[in-house]
Amino acid sequence: MDRSADPAALADLIGHRLTDHSGGLYRRLADAIAALIGSEELPVGARLPAERPLAEALAISRSTVVAAYDELRARGLVESRRGSGTTVARSAGRGRSGADKRMPTGYGESLFHRIAVGAGEVIAMTYAVDPGIPELAAEVEDLARTDLPLLLQGVGYHPRGLEVLRERVADHFTASGLPTNADEIVVTSGAHQAIALVTQMYLRSGAAVVIEQPSWPGCFDLFGAAGGRVVGVPLDDAGIRPDLLAAAFAEHQPAMLFVMPTFHNPTGRLMSPVRRRQVAELAAKHGVVVVEDNAYSAWDPSGPRIPPPLAAFAPKNAEVLTIGSVSKAVWGGLRIGWIRAPRPLAERLARHKALADLGSPVIDQALTARLLPRLGELTAARATAATERRRLMGQLLAEQLPEWRWEAPEGGSALWIQLPDTDARIFAQVALRHGVEVVAGRAMDPTGEHDDHLRLPYSYAPEVMADAVDRLARAWQEFRRHGPAPAVPVIV
């Protein structure tokens, strides 16, 4: 599919480039498209959207897009022909190296692109992460004094992970209600790599993978790159719906089920113990592998108790792999995660891990091993602070954006907000021009069922959240004053 011809997809790539307020808007738009052509995000021959749909997707006037296209034609970057529309000109490709400089395409592409290029002056509320816990610096210093000399005597390659870390991860699972030994653990470079390794092992081209609807944006890219077909199943208050899950299993015969039972992203819901058992039993009945991602560990200390992992409720014939990480709980820069799997599967995963990178960084693993026994204690203060920030964000939104609706999450780091009668992707373009970036619902549910939603993290300092909500309120006022733009059709 030529995604450049999809107005909403191209708007996602253009949007962050329009926040520079130097020069006229039409020239900024022309410069943004020219930059995409130069980086080969838009290759020679790519068809651009018609002026009116692109204007609607960007929430700007059609005359601005017409002027921008005129500017691009004058630069020799695009050409227009009756019946063929506007395409990237062959002359635009001269002098290129021919190397593929593009980011992987998919529904999470714009989110990962923002992480790669940085936010500039924009408040980028595109990912929900906290700074490192205060105790981290002291632990690093102590590790350098006491553990590092011994670590340096080893070869440094540990595809399954340092033994001491695997033992402590196993103890962590056992304490949570899932008896585990070190042979069932494979250490990874964060939860993202864990999901990627499992995907390599289970997914083949054309195979179906069932996910919650909505879901984490990165899974669409990971599963799509493996040739998988994503099948979404809606949630209720207790988690993924078992009636619809059973129907999806029967119809699609998937290779894998991917769920986030503990503080689902983006809704923050906590799957109930009863629902965890139902899901595990359904998967065992249909012979479907379950992959549970429990990396989102921020929680409300006054809220419900976190149940054991879904694997603890699974019958003996079930195949359940459980993923965890310290990146959310301790620091995003500590890229250490793990997979718990039955021993034969753990051995296969270790081979995939060895092929990927020969093992995660040893010093990071040693640091994580020191932190794990005190993880609950170390993150309790962070959990309390997150709860306070969530309340503040709710108060700010209630005061300045009373039309917006959301349910208080049971954990996680973001609100899943419904906008009244609005395509959130179009509003996001207006918000960008007011200096705040948000993730629209389409990134988390490509079916269109949550196009009126956006994810708004509250993992920021109070003054940053106050500034962001002020900007969003001004953007919303402008958006509503001119009226919501018509829904943009998406080419699939």
CATH class given for the domain over 156-376: alpha beta
Please write the tens of the pLDDT for every residue from 52-82.
888 888 888 888 889 889 889 889 999 988 8
- Look up the pTM and report it: 0.82
Q: In what order do the strands lie in the sheet with 78-81?
A: 47-48, 85-88, 78-81
pLDDT at residue number 13? 78
CATH class given for the domain over 109-133+377-482: alpha beta
| Single-letter residue type at 67 | A
Q: Which two tokens stand for residue 143?
A: 């590790």
pLDDT at residue number 465? 96
pLDDT at residue number 300? 60
Contact 490, 441 (CB under 8 A): no
- CATH for 3-93 is 1.10.10.10
pLDDT at residue number 32? 87
Residue 273: asked if its preceding bond is cis (omega within 30°), the reply is no
| 3-state SS string for 447-471 | CCCCCCEEEEECCCCHHHHHHHHHH
> CATH 1.10.10.10: which residues of the chain?
3-93
Contact 275, 307 (CB under 8 A): no
Cross-strand pairs, 81 = 85
Please, what is the Cα angle at 59 between 53 and 63, to 5 degrees? 65
What residues in the chain have per-residue pLDDT under 50? 1, 97-119, 484-492
Token look-up 């058992």 returns 277
Write out the DSSP string of 261-326.
Answer: -BS-TTT--B--HHHHHHHHHHHHHHT-EEEEE-----B-TTSPPPPPPGGGG--TT--EEEEEES
pLDDT at residue number 485? 43
Q: Which two tokens stand for residue 491?
A: 């080419």
Q: Which two tokens stand for residue 128?
A: 């929900």
pLDDT at residue number 295? 84
Please write the tens of the pLDDT for every residue from 14-58.
766 666 655 678 888 888 899 888 887 889 989 999 998 888 888
pLDDT at residue number 298? 54
By C-alpha distance, which of 85, 293, 103 is closest to 188? 293
pLDDT at residue number 328? 84
The span from the CA of 443 to the CA of 56, in Å, is 18
371-375: long-range pairs with CB below 8 Å, 24+: 371/136, 371/139, 371/326, 371/330, 372/165, 372/168, 372/169, 372/171, 372/172, 372/326, 373/168, 373/171, 375/172, 375/326, 375/329, 375/330
| Single-letter residue type at 424 | A
> CATH 3.90.1150.10: which residues of the chain?
109-133+377-482
Count CB atoms within 10 A of the CB of residue 133.
19
The span from the CA of 36 to the CA of 12, in Å, is 12
Token look-up 């699939």 returns 492
> CATH 3.40.640.10: which residues of the chain?
156-376
Contact 470, 422 (CB under 8 A): no
pLDDT at residue number 23? 65
